[in-house]
A and B are shown apart, each in its own frame.
Chain A
Amino acid sequence: MSNEASMHADTSVNVPVEVHHHEEHAHHHHHESFITKYVFSQDHKMIAKQFLITGMIWAVIGGLMSVLFRLQLGYPEEKFMWLQDLMGKWWFEDGHLTAQAYYALVTTHGTVLIFFVLTAGLSGTFANLLIPLQVGARDMASPLLNMLSYWFFFLASVIMFSSIFVSTGPFSGGWTAYPPLSALHDASPGSQHGMDLWLIAMAVFVVSSLLGGLNYIVTILNMRTKGMSMTRLPLTIWGLFFTAILGVLSFPVLLSGFILLIFDRNFGTSFYLSDIFVATTNTALPNEGGNAILFQHLFWFLGHPEVYIIALPAMGIVSEIISTNSRKPIFGYMAMVASFFAIATLSFLVWAHHMFVTGMNPFLGSIFVLLTLLIAVPSAIKVFNWLTTLWRGSIRFTPAMLFAIGFVSMFISGGLTGIWLGNSALDIHLHDTYFVIAHFHLVMGVASMFGMFAGIYHWFPKMYGRYLNNTLGYIHFWITMIGAYLIFWPMHYEGLAGMPRRYFDYSTWVSFNQFEGLNRVISIVAIIVFAVQILFLFNFFYSIFKGRKVTTQNPWESNTLEWTTPIHPGHGNWVGEIPEVHRWPYDYGKDGRNFIPQNVPVGENEASH
């Protein structure tokens, strides 16, 4: 309720309402200092920008790491003396990346991209930006918790970053952190202090994600403007809503798994440990009776929903952008919501498909096969609905729209191979090969990245009041699209040759050394694609200050509420009353009218949807 009060305060301060909004900073109510405006801001729009830019920094770091380890895979013989000079002896020896450094890079790359970029960077940005703007609220339910959510993320970032510099190196046991490898200090140098920092960073990250998620859920349920029933919510909000629910229900389980791991590492417990002989110290450990597989259950109980935590916001963004730029309603709105619900529910019931070869009970495995393949049905519904939305549309190829179409393409390519892997009798062959790498990079990595790019291009004018450069956007899209397929499509073939993932060097293997040339090609394309992302970043930061100015309130002729705010919305979003909603957000091309925003009352002769 205190929030309600503060809102009234907001509006009353603004009484002499500005009607024209071409003037920047038209409605500054409280006198904000630099600190409260840009650093410890409680404005959801500023917090969104903080999440986005922190996510971008991590994306660059994670991307650079992949360039480094791709250099090793593409040029195992080559000496990179200049990199050694640059990075030092710990990483490079005699011009070659060390195995330890390779695994440290792979692990950090995975952790950072999945959690810091595609979870915090994606949900954090768009949930913060869009939830209040699209449901018609002045801010989140709790702006304070919202601010804390960012700062916990920031703290997690600092800790994770510092783990790169400890003398024994960052954690190097893979982003899945399976014990005993991750539990035993002597099993690998990366499992020493690097792992402690990794665990602390992840625990702090979970806190951030819970604070954010609870806030998103409460805001969507309680703070919708008048007339905004749940079935009038834009699909972006539905996607973010289910994402938040998944996070709130599954991250605590991950945290409990991590806490048990911390105990096993430091306090002599045996949750995951049993029957272990460590060769480096020549000792048999006292731990008995633990179960290493328990961790995998706890991990994947988050881990699988996590992949949807990454995918659902992108799906929501893409649905919204495809509909807007096809100038046509999203096809099957209710089916889209229902399939979100089905995916969210099923995603809690499929985790063990990552564990088919752990020796699990075959009957249990068969249940997970059934449920896993079931999840392909709602995924298929979504794809068919996007296709039908494009059909007989009037498509405008904004850069956002291109990325949205690219998302659908990637999601199809990567989703279909999920059907292979979900069938345990095939997974027993393909598990932990490059086939899995291809699958999840397409369906999750690239697809959700595309969703994020689409969102950035689409809402950049709302965030900064300027446009991104279109031509650079087109170059960015087409090179990334072509490059992503060139990188990941051939990896299916490597997987079908049985080539294991997480190998530092394949040259001694008769079964897998036939791909040397291919690996080189992949590495070269990866470097080019990385360079194009730098071009995008340049476009982003340049346009914040120098981009073409937005001159109309609703540049994409869109129906949703964020485009009814001033071009530079202040804290509180709307000047005066929050608009009332009279219709769903997808009245495009209805009765020959180009678009009808949600706040336009239903006409007398108009068939309401």
Chain B
Amino acid sequence: MSMFFTIAVIVLVFLIIFQIAKASEYVSVIKGEEKARADQNKVNGFLMIAFLIAGLFGVYFCNKVLYPDTLLSHEAASVQGEKVDSMLWITIVITGVVFFITQILLFYFSYKYQESKKRKAYYYPHNNKLEVIWTAVPAIALTALIVFGLKNWFAFTGPAPKEALQVEITGKQFGWIFRYPGMDQTFGKKYYKLIDDANSNSLGQDWKDSKNFDDVVVSQTMYCVVNRPVNLRIFSRDVIHDVGLSEFRLKQDAVPGTPTSLWFTPKFTTKEMKEKLGKPDFQYEISCDQMCGNGHYSMKGVIEVVTQEEYDVWLAQQKPNYYTVFPDKDPSNQKPQLATDSTKTTASVKTTDVVKTKM
């Protein structure tokens, strides 16, 4: 019912606007072309300057309301992110100055130089000096931005420090799997044809490779250590995904068949961030930033940044995946299954459930 009502109102508004438009056309025919044009120029010239002023106010207002919701309103949570932020600020200032100058000139000129009986247009076809100036000045400003940018770019994409924590992250439709290399500090071999979800081998670890025996596999939540660089080795099991780390200001694609990597140094533990932001539900979320299918929007991972001691405790509680697959090899086999294992499976079930219900 309300639907019909809305449609009726819209149609009515359209009709009224149309009648007014039609009438004003007749009026301008009666007034004569010159006079009609003069009137229209006056109205639109005024609207130009009004738009400029309202627009500038709007920019201010929008910034005031939305700025606190952006990441710029608080410190980046990684060393790399700090550099991204400082570059953002330089870029905002340079492009901001250009923005305000050009927009103000555009609307001011439009207003000021509207047709008038008192003034004739000034024939001014070219001026090479001006062209050179406004080629050179942007070129110089851009060079500065490029220099800053590339310095950071090479720092970000350079090799990770030796002491970095090594973590492997693998995207799949629709979730994340993490692997830690265990005591031997090396990842065992894997091959995608060995993937066997039913038998807890979600990465296709090759059990002939003894380096796999101590590798820890977890899903959903990854742990890393504050102030210690972490090197992510990024894989995908199916389509392209992207490890999006907005609080750390970084991201990198996960490409099937082509490993990529990304390293960064977290500056605050999750707990510290909760306090800093006054947000008890704060999490470092991993968002998938590359369209990967119908569950793309739900492909969430979590990074838990903790102190070295907490990390050690956590890692000690993890059981290598090898023992899950081959329980008879597990030295602690006598004990009942550890709790971590069950959380892992319920967590992954949950994400697929969410996807299914929304699909």
Physical interaction between A and B = yes
With A181-B239, A362-B153, A485-B58 known to touch, is A432 a contact of B290 (CB < 8 Å)? yes
With A333-B126, A381-B134 known to touch, is A99 a contact of B153 (CB < 8 Å)? no
Residue of B nearest to A98 (CB): B359
Residue of A nearest to B84 (CB): A429
Residue of B nearest to A417 (CB): B95
**Complex CA–CA separation, A179 to B87 (angstroms):** 33
Q: Are B146 and A391 in contact (CB under 8 A)?
A: no
Counting CB contacts under 8 A, is B326 at the interface? no
CB distance from B168 to the nearest CB of A (A): 14
**Residues on B with beta carbons closer than 8 Å to the beta carbon of A609:** 125
Counting CB contacts under 8 A, is B142 at the interface? yes
Counting CB contacts under 8 A, is B249 at the interface? yes
Q: Are B239 and A284 in contact (CB under 8 A)?
A: no
CB-contact partner of B238 in A279, A475, A498, under 8 A: A279
**Complex CA–CA separation, A469 to B106 (angstroms):** 26
Residue of A nearest to B81 (CB): A429
Counting CB contacts under 8 A, is A394 at the interface? yes
Q: Are A380 and B134 in contact (CB under 8 A)?
A: yes
Chain A, 415-429, contact with B by CB distance < 8 Å: what is the 0/1 string? 011011001111011
CB distance from B15 to the nearest CB of A (A): 10
**Complex CA–CA separation, A275 to B257 (angstroms):** 5
**Residues on A with beta carbons closer than 8 Å to the beta carbon of B259:** 359
**Complex CA–CA separation, A330 to B124 (angstroms):** 8
Q: Are B106 and A474 in contact (CB under 8 A)?
A: no
Q: Are B244 and A432 in contact (CB under 8 A)?
A: yes
**Residues on B with beta carbons closer than 8 Å to the beta carbon of A275:** 192, 256-257
Q: Are A276 and B256 in contact (CB under 8 A)?
A: yes
**Residues on B with beta carbons closer than 8 Å to the beta carbon of A591:** 123
Counting CB contacts under 8 A, is A59 at the interface? no
Counting CB contacts under 8 A, is B20 at the interface? yes
Residue of A nearest to B122 (CB): A392
Binds A, one of B218-226, B292-300, B335-343: B292-300
Majority-rule SS of B interface residues:
helix
Which residues between 28 and 66 of chain B lie within 8 Å of chain A, taking CB atoms?
28-29, 37, 40-41, 43-45, 47-48, 51, 55, 58-59, 62, 66
Residue of B nearest to A517 (CB): B65
Counting CB contacts under 8 A, is A326 at the interface? yes
Most buried by A among B24, B51, B109, B116: B109
Binds B, one of A151-159, A365-373, A455-463: A365-373
Counting CB contacts under 8 A, is B228 at the interface? no
Q: How many of chain B's residues have a CB under 8 angstroms from any CB in A? A: 129
**Complex CA–CA separation, A364 to B69 (angstroms):** 35
**Complex CA–CA separation, A277 to B293 (angstroms):** 15
Chain B, 100-124, contact with A by CB distance < 8 Å: what is the 0/1 string? 0011011101100111100111111
Binds A, one of B179-187, B277-285, B307-315: B277-285
Counting CB contacts under 8 A, is A335 at the interface? yes
**Residues on B with beta carbons closer than 8 Å to the beta carbon of A334:** 126
**Residues on B with beta carbons closer than 8 Å to the beta carbon of A393:** 109, 113, 121-122
Residues of A with Cβ closer than 8 Å to B?
A: 82, 98-100, 103, 172-174, 176, 178-181, 184, 187-190, 273-280, 282, 284, 288-293, 326-335, 357-359, 362, 365-366, 369-370, 373-374, 376-377, 380-381, 383-385, 387-388, 390-397, 402, 405, 408-409, 412-413, 416-417, 419-420, 423-426, 428-429, 431-433, 469-472, 474-475, 478, 481-482, 485, 489-490, 493, 496-498, 500, 502-506, 508-512, 514-515, 518, 531, 534-535, 538-539, 548, 586, 588-592, 609
